[in-house]
Chains A and B, each alone.
Chain A
Amino acid sequence: MHSPPHDHISASPDVRGAEGIEGSVDSGPVLEVRFGEYLQEVGVARRRVRYGEVVASAPGAEGKVRLRATDVYRILRPYVTPRFVEQAKAVAPLGVYLVLFQLLFLRQPVSGGWIVTGALAAVIVGLMLFMEGLRLGLMPLGERIGETLPTRSPLSVVLLVVFLLGIGVTFAEPAIGALKAAGTIVVPERTPLLYGLLTEHSGLLVLVVGAGVGVAAVLGTLRFVYDWSLKPLIFATILPCLGLTAYAALDPARQEIVGLAWDSGAVTTGPVTVPLVLALGIGVSSAVGKATSSLSGFGIVTLASLFPVMGVLLLGLTVGPAGAGATTEVVVGGWLSQSPVAEIVAAIRAIVPLVAFLLVVLWMVARERVSHPGLVTYGIVLTVLGMALFNVGLTFGLAELGNQSGGALPAAFTTVEGVPESPLYIFALGIGLVILFAWVLGFGATLAEPALNALGMTVEELTNGAFPKKLLMWAVAIGVACGIGLGVAKLVFGFGLAWVLVPGYAAVLILTLFSTEEFVNVAWDSAGVTTGPVTVPLVLAMGLGLGGAVRAPEGFGVLALASLCPIAAVLTTGLYVQWRTHHEQAV
């Protein structure tokens, strides 16, 4: 179809009468113009064509449209631009903030700046491709399975599928690569058990985390079916976690894994896990005949953040420290000199098993065909490419930048060789600056999370406006900020993570007891929602960098606290909103 050319909207009153209807100017000082003619002249040009003529001259029902280069550009622009911008808004400000802080306040240049910038660009593009591929490739498969499997198979089969899906999605999470990258920053001599878990046993670690997610997904699905309340499930899960934490913390050989265990819970619930597991869960609940209340979706995220903690703690308690063979394996520079091909292979190894699993379930168990195979294939290819790019960008950009930033922080308050003016500030000011830096980082990164926006809207609807979206977003952001600040303080001052976690979660449990079901659902999920694929590697790397620089035993735990504090913040705010509503109604 040919488009009518656009006219400029002219401000000049010079109407020359394009149709030649008006008389010539020199017939007199007055020119009569139909207003409609004037409007046509200043408005968009119009052309009337019979539709039949357009269709008759088109090549045929399935013929291709011939496109000019401008048309191709015009089609692709509204497709690519919003997706790119969405990821850029999440990544770029963080990068700029870290670099600026390091330059201005710590007076240290960022080494390898261009590589880091290129890698961050790779992260943006990689995430863009990954999310689009997820939407077009994996999600339709998951939703189809969710719609058809529960009607054709008994519950036990469905639960088995859900469990295996939980393992599969964990391997496919982009942020899981961050745990593996973290293994290169850990010092083996001081924390042999931790090092072993992250390198020698890294496959087993991810498997255990995945199994935790699987169990959580199964419990979440059962919650859909039998309408269980979330509160008893939380108690039943947290108490063993805290018990195991306390046990591990008191054992000097095992206490180093506490941070990793609680951090791995934050890593799991990402853009792959949540939608896929939800799709299955919702499918199950509609097959069983329950109406999907807006609360149905919650709970899985919470459980999927808690069970991996238990799993990793149990793994740490059963596996011995890495043998002597592991410490001699020097992997310095091992990750940093990977060729792009290796990233693609790693991405394939992460995505393809999940896709194969979904296809097998779809064909064999649900006996369905894939509805748009071309589109799904395109989606899967995009996912693999996106993940490969993201992993490259992760290693050279996010992890690198976080590590440098974290490593540069101690210059603010102690002497550091290599930084001639350290300490840059007096002790109290330096520490304060570092904690403030971490606080603002957490606050900004959280507000930029799109998932939080979605959660806020759901909450506002749920409570009929009593809990506005802005309030929730601020509560969560402040919670995460305080958590990251606390985490940084933990690294600097060296107090044990368990000393904060156990009382912290105990306090949160008490708050949970007094809160209503809706707020409990929302609050516990908000923590899982906030730590996305950009913040997780960044914060992990920063913690490890800082921990290494201040000679802390290990740098994990920041994410764990960043998950604990928003729960407390939202529950407290929820109790306040409850109290206020009650008060207003009583008056």
Chain B
Amino acid sequence: MPDREIVILTDVSLITCIVQKGMADTIVLAGRKAGAQGATVYYARGSGVRERLGILGVAVEAEKEVVNIVVADDQVDRVMEAMFLAGKLDTPGMGFMYVTPLEKAATYVPHDVLERLKEKAGR
């Protein structure tokens, strides 16, 4: 199909942040402010820190929200930092985050952006 094309986006990473239910929105907002283009939130159930906190474990919600944000490699540190601080992940039980390198990604790229990229590539 010559009139449709797929734009392969390279040098992307996935930031996954697992937080207690209800706290995903703060994290997503912080990520967006730091430059992320979007986010996906799943629901999950977690265990680990709760069992080790003893009686205080009841203060940590077992139901979790998993926030996935795909960013460019150049942005990873900034976005990760913003999410970490916004979610207060340095408090016991508040969450866990990790970064995975991705092979490639693909999505809709606006036409004018595509044109500008092609021009730059041509140049």
Is B truly associated with A? yes
- A interface vs B, CB < 8 Å? 1, 3-4, 6, 43-44, 62-65, 67, 71-72, 74-76, 78-80, 136, 375, 378
CB atoms of A75 and B81 under 8 A apart:
no
Q: A75-B56, A75-B60 are in contact. Are A65 and B88 (CB under 8 A)?
A: no
Q: How many A-B pairs with Cβ below 8 Å?
A: 50
Q: A71-B91, A74-B92, A75-B93 are in contact. Are A136 and B58 (CB under 8 A)?
A: yes
Comparing B4-12, B46-54, B106-114, the segment that makes contact with chain A is B46-54
Flag whether B105 is at the interface (Cβ < 8 A): no
Flag whether B121 is at the interface (Cβ < 8 A): no
Chain B residues in 8 Å Cβ range of A62: 51-52
Chain B minimum-CB-distance residue to A132 = B58
- What is the CA–CA distance of A136 and B58 in the complex, to the nearest angstrom? 9
Chain A residues in 8 Å Cβ range of B81: 43-44
Q: A43-B81, A74-B92, A75-B92 are in contact. Are A65 and B52 (CB under 8 A)?
A: yes
Chain B residues in 8 Å Cβ range of A76: 56, 59
- What is the CA–CA distance of A63 and B54 in the complex, to the nearest angstrom? 10
- What is the CA–CA distance of A1 and B91 in the complex, to the nearest angstrom? 10
CB atoms of B91 and A65 under 8 A apart:
no
CB atoms of A67 and B92 under 8 A apart:
yes
CB atoms of A3 and B53 under 8 A apart:
no
Of residues 25 to 67 in B, which have CB atoms within 8 Å of A's CB atoms?
49, 51-54, 56, 58-60
CB atoms of A72 and B56 under 8 A apart:
yes
CB atoms of B49 and A65 under 8 A apart:
yes
CB atoms of B52 and A44 under 8 A apart:
no
Among B54, B90, B93, point to the contact of A4 (Cβ < 8 A): B90
CB atoms of A64 and B92 under 8 A apart:
no
Chain A minimum-CB-distance residue to B23 = A78
Min CB distance B11 to A, Å, is 17
Chain B residues in 8 Å Cβ range of A75: 53, 56, 59-60, 91-93
Among B20, B85, B92, B94, point to the contact of A65 (Cβ < 8 A): B92
Q: List 11 A-B contacts (CB under 8 A).
A: A3-B91, A44-B85, A67-B53, A67-B56, A75-B56, A75-B59, A75-B93, A78-B23, A78-B91, A79-B58, A375-B58
- What is the CA–CA distance of A136 and B57 in the complex, to the nearest angstrom? 13
Chain B residues in 8 Å Cβ range of A3: 90-91
- What is the CA–CA distance of A6 and B85 in the complex, to the nearest angstrom? 9
- What is the CA–CA distance of A64 and B58 in the complex, to the nearest angstrom? 14
Chain A residues in 8 Å Cβ range of B60: 75, 79
CB atoms of B59 and A65 under 8 A apart:
no
- What is the CA–CA distance of A240 and B84 in the complex, to the nearest angstrom? 61
CB atoms of B58 and A378 under 8 A apart:
yes
- What is the CA–CA distance of A232 and B103 in the complex, to the nearest angstrom? 60
Q: A76-B59, A79-B59 are in contact. Are A64 and B52 (CB under 8 A)?
A: yes
Chain A residues in 8 Å Cβ range of B85: 44
Chain A residues in 8 Å Cβ range of B52: 62-65
Chain B residues in 8 Å Cβ range of A378: 58
Among A4, A65, A80, A136, point to the contact of B53 (Cβ < 8 A): A65
- What is the CA–CA distance of A6 and B88 in the complex, to the nearest angstrom? 11
Min CB distance B82 to A, Å, is 10
Chain B residues in 8 Å Cβ range of A67: 53, 56, 92
Instruction: Give 14 A-B pairs besides A63-B52, A76-B56, A136-B58 with Cβ atoms closer than 8 angstroms.
Output: A44-B84, A64-B53, A65-B52, A65-B92, A67-B56, A71-B91, A72-B56, A74-B88, A74-B92, A75-B53, A75-B93, A78-B88, A79-B60, A80-B59
Instruction: Please list the 7 inter-chain residue pairs (A to B) with the smallest Cβ-Cβ separation, ordered nearest first.
Output: A3-B90, A79-B59, A74-B91, A65-B52, A75-B59, A76-B59, A75-B93
Chain B residues in 8 Å Cβ range of A4: 90
- What is the CA–CA distance of A71 and B52 in the complex, to the nearest angstrom? 14
